[in-house]
Structure formats: C-alpha cells, structure tokens
A and B are shown apart, each in its own frame.
Chain A
Amino acid sequence: MTSTWGWLILLFPLVGTVVISLGYKVLPGRLAGWLGSAAILGAFVCAIGALLSIQDRTPEDRQVVSTLWTYASTAKVDVGMTILVDPLSVLMALVVSGVSFLIHVYSVSYMGGDRGYARYFAYLNFFVFSMLLLVMGGNLVLLIVGWAFVGAASYLLISFWYRRGTATYAGLKAFVINVVGDIGLVVAAFLLWSKTGALDWTGVFRGSHEAFHTNDGVIVAACLLLTVGAFAKSAQVPLHTWLPDAMEGPTPVSALIHAATMVTAGVYLIARTHPLYELAPTAADITAVLATFTFVYAATCAMAITDLKRIIAYSTISQIGYMVVGVALFGYANGLFHLMTHAFFKALLFMGAGSIIAAMAGEQNIDRMGGLRRAMPFTYVTFMVGSLALAGFPPFSGWLSKDSIVAFAFDRGGWYVAIGVAGYVAALLTAFYTFRVVFRVFSGEPVEEARLLERGELAHAAHRNPLTGEEEDTDVGFPGPEHHIAERELPMKFAMSLLAVLAFAGGTIGIPDVSDVLERFLEPTFADSAFQGVAPSDTAEWIGLAVGAATAAAGIGAAWLVYLRRPGLSLELARRFPRTHRFLERRWYFDELYDLTVVRPLQALAAFSRRAIERGIVQGLLVGGAGGLVRGGMTIARTIQNGYLRAYALLLLTGLAGLGLYFLLQSS
C-alpha cells in the first residue's frame, strides 16, 4: 500500500501536465490553473496517505522499495523504474506538494492576466512532477533524471517571458550551470557503481561500507562530485551565479522553484547520501566550509543590492548555506527542519514581493518604493511575518530551525565552533537586510503608486526592462495587461494566510525539550548514522536560542537605526566607503570573473576554431588538396569528353580493377 501511495504521488502532477499541455487551447478562463492546483492537491493527499501508511509500519520496515519496470539493464549496469518511500522522501514529498499547492493557488490569480496562462501551469505541474521524482527516485539514475527535469522546468520558467533577452540569457545560464552539476552526479554515480556494483540506494550504501574505509580517496572524490551537483542546484558558491538571474521568471516561480523547493534539492541529496558522506568526513568538511562561506557571502550581498527579488534570492542562497552546513555536519534533522520552515517563510516572502511588484506596476527597485503599509495592509502583515521568521526572531519558525543548526555546530566542538560563530554573524546580517527591505518598502513617505492604491486604483506603466532599458514586448511580456495584488484576490490571500500561519508556527515540531516530532519521524532513515542521537543538551540549545534571539533583535535594531531613525545614514555610508559598497553591489564580482575566465575564453576558442582551424586546415589544406585532385580529375575528364560522374565511375572502376589484379597476382 505504501508503494501505491508513492506512485500515486507521481501520477497526479504528471497527468496534470499532460492534460493542461494538450488542452492549452480549449481550457477556458482560469480552468488550467484550477486543474493544475487540483493535481497538486491530489499529490499532497497521496503524500499524507504515504505518511500514514508508513507510520503504520514498524520502524525497521519503513524503507519501501517498489519497481515498475526495468529502465536500463545491460553490461552490469542495472537501473529500474524504482521509487523509495521512506521518512525522508515522504517528508520531502509533503513539503514539496504542500507548498506547491499553495503557490499554484496563488498563481491562479497572480498569473490571471498573462497570455501564457496554460503554458505556465503545464510547466509548473511538470516541475512538481520532476521534483517529486527527484525525492522519490529509488536509485541514482532516477535521481539524476528528476534532477535534470527540475532543471529543465526551472529553465522554462526562468525564460517564461521569452521575448526578454535578459530572461532567455538567465535561462541559458541556469541550464548550463545545472548541467555542470549533472555531470558531477554522473561521474559520482560511476565511481560509486564501479566500487559497489550498484546504483540503487540500498545497494550503494551497503556496498560502500564494504568497499571503502573512512576517507578512502574514491569515496572522498565521489562525495565531492555529489557536492558539485548539490551546489549547482542549490546555488552555493562558486556555482551560485545563476540564481539571482533566475529572478527573471514570474514571481510565484521564484517562490516555488527558486526558494522553497528545487534549490533545496542539494540539501536533500546530501541527506539522502549521508552514509557516503559519513565515510568521507573530509568531503563533508569541505562542503560545510564552502557552505559557511556561502551564507556569509550571500548575506553581505543582500545588504547592498536594491532589486527586491534579487535581495530575497541572495537571502535564499544564504539560508540554503545554513541547511547545507546542517546536513554536512551530520545534523540531518536540523538541516531538514530549516529546509521545511524556510520553504514556508521564503515562499511567503516571495508571494508578498509579487504583490508589491504588481502594485508597483513591475518596478522592483526598493529605492523607488516606500510607504506601502497603509495601501497594502494584508501584504504588510504577512510580509512582516515572513521577515521575522527569516530574521530568526522568537517565536517564529526560523528562529528555532536556524538555531538548531548553529547549536549543533557548537556542539561538534573543535574548529566547527568557527562555523557556529559565522552562523551568528550571518544571522545578524540577515536580520539587518531583511528589515532594510521592510522599512524601505512599507515605511516612509508613500510613493505615487501607493497613493493611487489608497484611492482604489492600480498603477500601470509602459514598462522597460530595468537591466537593459529595452521596452517590454507586450505579447509575451512582463507585466501583462492586468496586475493582481493580494488585497484584492481571494486565492492569493488564502495561500499567503496559510503560509503565514506555517511560517509562524511551523517551528513547533522541533522545540528543544518539548517536541522532537521531526527528529523522531526521520529516525528510521538516519538510523545507520554514527551521529544518530548526537545532539546538544537542551540547556545548550536554549542558550543558543537566546543568543539567536538577541542577534536578530540587534540586526533589526540596526536596520531601524539606519533606515528609519536616520534615513540619510545608508547613503552616507555608501558614500564614505564607495569601494566596499561597489564590491558588495557587484556581488564580489563573481559574474565578471566567470565572464573573464569561462565565457570569453570559450568564445575566443570558438572564433579561433572557425577562423583558423576550419578555414586554414580543414577547408584549406585538406579540401584544397582534394580540390586539387578534383581539378586534375576534371582536366582528364574533359580530355576524354566525359561528364564528372563518368570520370568518377571510371576512376572507381580502374582503381578497383587495378587493386583486384594486384592482390590476385599476389595471392596466386
């Protein structure tokens, strides 16, 4: 029964995709949106079914494998169409389908005026199917398939408004960086297969324990390659540059794919392959250090940039950094706890951002916003809930989940303490940049758009692409003819209210000393871990939580000081330290670095191949040589008054006869 629920989870969104794609022309009004939402609700219900049925089993029996058919089995490579239903995959399926459902509902209204309405929901359903395949896949190959499918869905939705040059370029960039990650996974799969002879999870894990000793070179390499895959998907430094650009997609997509679900796949991957990482602690440490760097780095960037969605995107990179640290330090439940709460509050923040951007007629620069509080009370309240959760303010969910990771780092002791300290530093920055947005957008003097809104109107503008200044294409462009804000749309309100409740109270499943629901639920998956049961004492956790709360309060206070109390201070700071400001605003020049080291050399190589190799050698030398042969042949042909073809036929025949004669003479 458990496996049936598992397959049904996958079936619903797949059917949704097919039905919406085929019916794109005939589905009237908002039906495509409701159909898509219903499909995802179906998946969510089945995920609950899977949850209940798996809880009925004994803890040892909570890893259910089911194969429908042989996918590819040849030359000792054996891959089935297999799913694995265990607490980890069920948790992921619940989070993914639940958040996806709410975002679908939100989109029903938000995308209402878009000309690509059905296309949007077909893509979105396909994304959910892929993501569920990724988390349910019972072997490495199906994981890679889901992994690539979510990448493709992400690509399609980033370049959803495909007449924008910036959107298509961002799509290409995201796709290619993700393929780099895919290659990492493929090579890792090979390394694991070559030593264990298996590609399914159970086989690989069992085989690894026999094949590798701790920190064996091959397993370290394999884990580092898995990390490459995880980092590409989860936008961790140095493979993070695609995610801010991915904000070119519609805002609900940013909420779903580029905040709540897909980008956390890297965290899932490390949690799923935890037996391997525990055999390769070196690789786990390298992963943790890079992720630590990432969460500090991204937080600093988020302080300087002014694009509302990109700020939240950097915040996502930063928060995923925390999760990766959580799982890479072998505190799996902590990382997954934060993954879950982050899905709630970050999806909520993006939904709020969507509403704000709609009210601003497509404007995304926070410097041009202000005083929206009175015009958008609902958006303000929910955005505030999301911000408090992100800042880690008690008692919101982010406070509990983020701190469980930091406390675990302190508990590991040794140099891991440095990671814990960095965790608090970044938390301070997080609270600061989060409330920079809140104060900038909602407080202060109301801007023109806010006044319009207060009078019951909605701003409209002939929009230009802020990055290129290009006028938007109205056929497939953003913003569409109508905008939708949460205040006026019931589905948007519904989705945001529910997420606000979850962002506030989602932490209750992991209160130290009170409830360890999540940890106990996940136990069967991580039973084989050497770190199972290792946790800081409740006292230590509560001390950590207190420090976390103080940090958040300090960050919020600093933002209040800079942006509300003394409004000129931020400008003055930027003027006083122009280099630092520029450095942060350019995001530490990572994009420029890659342009210089990867993109340009490749273009130069292509130009060189085209001009020198192709023209000089292949066409010049080789064809020129052959061309000379042609001319010679033609002269002969002309002298005996033949057409070309006859000359060639003759040539062929003469050659054939001559060679035949030669060898016959030789052999006799």
Chain B
Amino acid sequence: MSLSIPLFIPLASGLLAMLLPRGAAWLARQLVLGGTFATLFYVVAMLVDFDSSAKGLQWVTRENWIETLGIHYSLGVDGLNLFLIAVTALLFTVCALWSALREWDRPRLYYFNLGLAETAVLGAFMAQDLALFVVFFDLMLVPFYFLIGVWGRGERVQATTKFVIYTLVGSLLMLAGAIALGVLSTPDGGQISFELADLQRRTLGHGTQVWIFLLFAAAFLVKAPAFPFHGWMPDTYRATPTPVLVLLSGILSKVGAYGFLRIVLPILPGASSTLQELMLVIAVVSILYGSVMAFSQDDARLVVGYSSIAQLGFITLGIFALDPKGAQGAVIQMVNHALVVAGLFFVIAVIAGRSRESESLERLGGLALRAPVLAALFLIVALATLAMPGSPNFVGEILILFGAFDEKIVYGLVASAGVALAAVYAIRLYQRTMHNRVGPDVEPGDLSWRLDMPAIAPVVLVLLALALYPQFVLHRTEATTTTKIAAAAAKSHQTPGPDRTASSAGAPDQSQK
C-alpha cells in the first residue's frame, strides 16, 4: 500500500474537475465525490490491514525532496494518525456528498478546493517530515480561504480576513519554529534534517526548546482554537457554509492537537514538561470559558463553536496530563469530537432549512413533533456531545480525566465542572430547537431522506458503532500513543527544578528511544 495514492487522489480529482469545460459541472461534482469515496475505501482497507502490535510507522514512503536542506517526502501511518486519517476521509466523503446534493456557484472551483483541502489535511496527518508537515499545514489555509471567502455568507469578508490573519500569524510562527528546530538541532558537522525521527534523536538546549515550543503552541492553539486564541472563531463560524464548517471544526481543529502529540511532545520533551502547567491552565480555562459561553449563546452555530473550544480543552488536558491514559483519551476524543461536530452542524443546517434559515435559538423551537427522525438523530448526537456515559465520547473523557487526576488532580477536578456545564449547553441546544413552543420562524418538517440523510446517517452510525466497541480504536492506538508521550512524561516525573532540567537537556537524552 502506498500512502501517496489516498493522499493525492482528492487533489487529482479536483484538478481534473477544474479542467473540465464549463458545461460539465455535474461531472466535476461526480469526479470529486468519487475521489473522496476512493480515498475512503483505501483508508478502510488500511484500517483492516493495520498491524496494531507494531510500534513504528507502517506503509512508510520516503524520498529525498530537497537534499541539501534535509527535507524528505516522508509519509507514514501509526496508531496516532490512523484514526484521524480515517475520520478525515469519512468527513470529507460525507461533506462532498452533502455538497453534491446541493447547488453551488462556480461548482468546478468549489469541488477543486474541496479536493485540495482533503489532500492538504491528509498530508498534514501523514507527513513524517517537519518541513513537509509545515507545507501541508499552510496549504490547508488556501482552500479554506476560498471556500469561506467565495461561498460564505453574511460578513464573509471580515470573517475570512480574521481567519486568515490569525492562522497566518500562527503559521509563520510555526514556520520560524520549524526552521529553527531543524537548524539548531543539527549537530556540528552533521547533515541538517527535518525528518521527525531524526529530530527526535537529536537534542536541544532547554532554553531553545522552550521558545520553539511556544512558537508551535501558538500555531496549534489558534487552529484548535483555544482560549484566548479564538477571536477568529465566531465570525468565521457564522460565515462558513455548512460542509466547510464541518471540516473546519471537525478536522482542522484536530491538526493542532495532533501536532502536539506528533511533533512537540516527542521532540521537545523538556519544554513540554516545563510548560505543562501553562498548557493545563489554557486547557482548563478553555473548558470552563467555552462551556459558559456555549450555554449563553443565541446562535446555534456558536453554541457548537464554543462547545468545541471546551472539547478541545479536554483534548489538550489529556495530552498535557503527560499520562498514557490521558493521551489515549485525547486521541479517541479527537475522533469522537470530529464525528459529533459533523452531526451537530448538519443537524443545525437541516433545522435552519426548516426555519427560514434562522439559526437563532430565540426564534426556533418545537420542531420535534413534525421531525421525529431528525429529533432522534439530534438526540443521539447531543448526548454524545455532552459525553454521556455509553457514548464513545465518555470513554475519551473518562480516560482524559483519569489521566489528569493521576498526574495533576486539581486540574482534573476543575475540568470536571466542565462535564456538568456540557450537559447544560447540549441539552439547552436540543430543547431550544426541538422542544418548547414552536418558534416564530419555524415551518415544521422532517429531514429529507434524499438530501440530508446520506450525510448524517454515516456519522451517527459510526458513533453508535464506536459506542459499542471503543476498544477498536484504543487497541490500535495504544502502542504509538504511549511512546509519543513517554519522553515528556519521563521529564515531568524527574525531580522538578528548571536548573536541573536545563543542564540535563544538554546531555544526550537517555529517555528517548
């Protein structure tokens, strides 16, 4: 199996779609839709074929790209990114499906951007070379810029501007960090390399680690978004078209969290343990702030938007607990959150379609009577969102909390308050749309089996399957996830004291493999 195939199928189909004549827009749609399906099938085959006992990367592709700069075209899959790739392929497929069932202006350009976006995201998840990661990470910005700017609604110009500025600033900081990392870690007389495996073997002084860490953290936290880096979120979420929003909130937000586990923790273990508390504070504040904001929003999309800040806070908490349970919880929670967010935004779009495009909770309500199927699906997704025991999200959350309790119990306990608040905002969102009196904008009707179900059903089915058998994920991710945090966890378990850490960071690192 070659990873380049699923990686570039979407882009290739998108390019072909672009080249089609103006009249063949329908073919463009079919092409890109087919491309996402092909990738999905390939990824499902990977899931089947995956060797869960292996600790290292599988299906590695490795070519020299820019030899003098030590940059490789290096791809690989292990337990850490396997399910993120899978959920990416799934969500792109359902979003392409959702899009294909609707009309878009300039369809060829739209589908091209969709294909490009999938390749960029998959590339970021598969890349095993830092430079390649940066390239894909920045490449993601381009299609989303167009998708929001051209097909968005309302204040889309302001929204895109904010979105681009924020992420661009983050990207530039990360770029600087990446270059610094490659250059400064090169031993005297050695060859510069950006390959993650090489970087992980090489060592950096503690001070250098810290500022590089901060550069990466800025980029990843903006992408998530975490408090207080979420200034772009409200406007962007309001303006973005539904399928793009699903991808933005479901998939793009995970790249940052994934970056912490793939790059930051293994390569900068000293800084990760030194700045652990800072990250935990950001995580916990994000949980509380996101939850409190979520239950006081009137815009249904923003309820979900702020709830994502809280959920990403939980994921960050799990990662920076620097504990195997927490990290495992974080990984499965990334998958779960992608699924529930997709479900929620699709449901909100269906609701908006039955209420004169209104997404204001004040003007909604009472839809359940005429929309029993929608209400049932929404209920499942809403309960999963609040991490009700029995949902896969609960498995993620309990592992995260166990990890946090084990390492830093105070943060864990404060975060637990977020669990109760999640119940408030999720149930409130459900009630204000489905229950109570019929809102002034509502023209009751159920979801359409032809237009809406094809996108929503797969998401809900996967959620239900994971609810019954979360071990399917945990079993495959365990071997890798635990090694990714091992170095940083070892550092944090040493006797604390910045001087000691700084001096030991200079010496060859014993704890790394």
Contact = CB atoms under 8 A, between A and B. Distances in A.
A639 interface: no
B296 A606 contact: yes
Nearest to A194: B406
Interface in A141-200: 141, 144-145, 147-149, 152, 155-156, 159, 162-163, 165, 168, 171-172, 175-176, 179-180, 182-183, 186-187, 189-190, 193-194
Interface in B132-177: 138, 145, 161-162, 164-166, 168-169, 171-172, 175-176
Given A626-B169, A655-B172, A74 B296 contact: no
B453 interface: no
Interface string B415-446: 01001100110011001001111100000000
A73 B296 contact: no
B469 interface: yes
B325 interface: yes
B402 A190 contact: yes
B50 interface: no
Contacts of B169: 626, 629
B390 A163 contact: no
A193 B168 contact: no
Contact of A75 (B229, B325, B470): B325
A614 interface: yes
A204 B243 CA distance: 47
Contact of B231 (A71, A165, A623): A623
Contact of A145 (B164, B179, B390): B390
B439 to A, nearest CB: 12
B60 to A, nearest CB: 25
Contacts of A610: 293, 296
A619 B236 CA distance: 13
Contacts of B372: 24, 119
B289 A72 contact: no
Given A159-B431, A618-B231, A648 B164 contact: yes
Nearest to B389: A148
B145 A163 contact: no
Interface string B345-389: 000000000000000000000101100100010010001001011
A156 B383 CA distance: 12
A652 interface: yes
Residue from A75, A155, A602 with most neighbouring chain B CB atoms (10 Å): A75
Interface in A46-78: 69-77
Interface string B213-252: 0000000000000011111101000000000000000000
A165 B427 CA distance: 14
Interface string B169-197: 10110011001101110100000100000
Interface in A346-396: none
A660 interface: yes
A159 B292 CA distance: 24
A667 B183 contact: yes
A171 B383 CA distance: 14
Contacts of B186: 667
Contacts of B118: none
Interface residues of B, number: 78
B427 A77 contact: no
Interface string A590-628: 000000000000110111011001100111001100110
B511 interface: no
Contacts of B401: 186-187, 190
Contact of A605 (B145, B234, B292, B438): B292
A475 interface: yes
A618 B230 CA distance: 7
Given A617-B228, A626-B231, A163 B179 contact: no
Given A603-B296, A659-B176, A70 B389 contact: no
A415 interface: no
B398 A141 contact: yes
A663 B423 contact: no
B469 A144 contact: no
Contacts of A21: 376
Nearest to A617: B228
B83 to A, nearest CB: 13
B416 A183 contact: yes
Interface stretch (B16-24, B98-106, B471-479): B471-479
Nearest to A70: B471
Contact of A155 (B324, B394, B398, B427): B427
A655 B192 CA distance: 21
B19 to A, nearest CB: 22
A571 B98 CA distance: 66
Nearest to A620: B231
Contact of A609 (B172, B296, B470): B296
B289 A656 contact: no
A539 interface: no
A626 B166 contact: yes
A9 B324 CA distance: 36
B424 A172 contact: yes
B interface SS class: helix
B225 to A, nearest CB: 10
Contacts of A619: 231, 234
A179 B175 contact: no
Contact of B389 (A147, A156, A476): A147
B501 interface: no
A168 B180 contact: no
B231 A148 contact: no
A664 B419 contact: no
A22 to B, nearest CB: 10
A664 B68 CA distance: 11
Nearest to A24: B372
Contacts of B376: 21
Interface in B33-84: none
A560 to B, nearest CB: 44
A496 to B, nearest CB: 31
A155 B434 CA distance: 14
B413 interface: yes
Contacts of B227: 618
A587 to B, nearest CB: 23
Contact of B423 (A75, A176, A664): A176
B211 to A, nearest CB: 14
Given A176-B420, A176-B424, A75 B435 contact: no
A655 B175 contact: yes
B113 interface: no
B436 A162 contact: yes
A659 B174 CA distance: 11
Contacts of A75: 323-325, 328, 399, 403, 478, 482
Contacts of A664: 183
A645 interface: yes
Contact of A162 (B145, B368, B419): B368
Residue from A141, A605, A606 with most neighbouring chain B CB atoms (10 Å): A606
Residue from B229, B471, B475, B477 with most neighbouring chain A CB atoms (10 Å): B471
B292 A77 contact: no
A651 interface: yes
Interface of A: 21, 24, 69-77, 119, 141, 144-145, 147-149, 152, 155-156, 159, 162-163, 165, 168, 171-172, 175-176, 179-180, 182-183, 186-187, 189-190, 193-194, 473, 475-476, 602-603, 605-607, 609-610, 613-614, 617-619, 622-623, 626-627, 629-630, 644-645, 648, 651-652, 655-656, 659-660, 663-664, 666-667
Given A180-B420, A183-B416, A618-B231, 10 more contacts: A72-B395, A75-B323, A148-B394, A162-B435, A163-B438, A168-B436, A172-B424, A179-B386, A182-B389, A190-B401
Closest 8 CB pairs of A and B: A606-B296, A162-B435, A75-B324, A148-B389, A663-B183, A623-B231, A179-B423, A74-B474
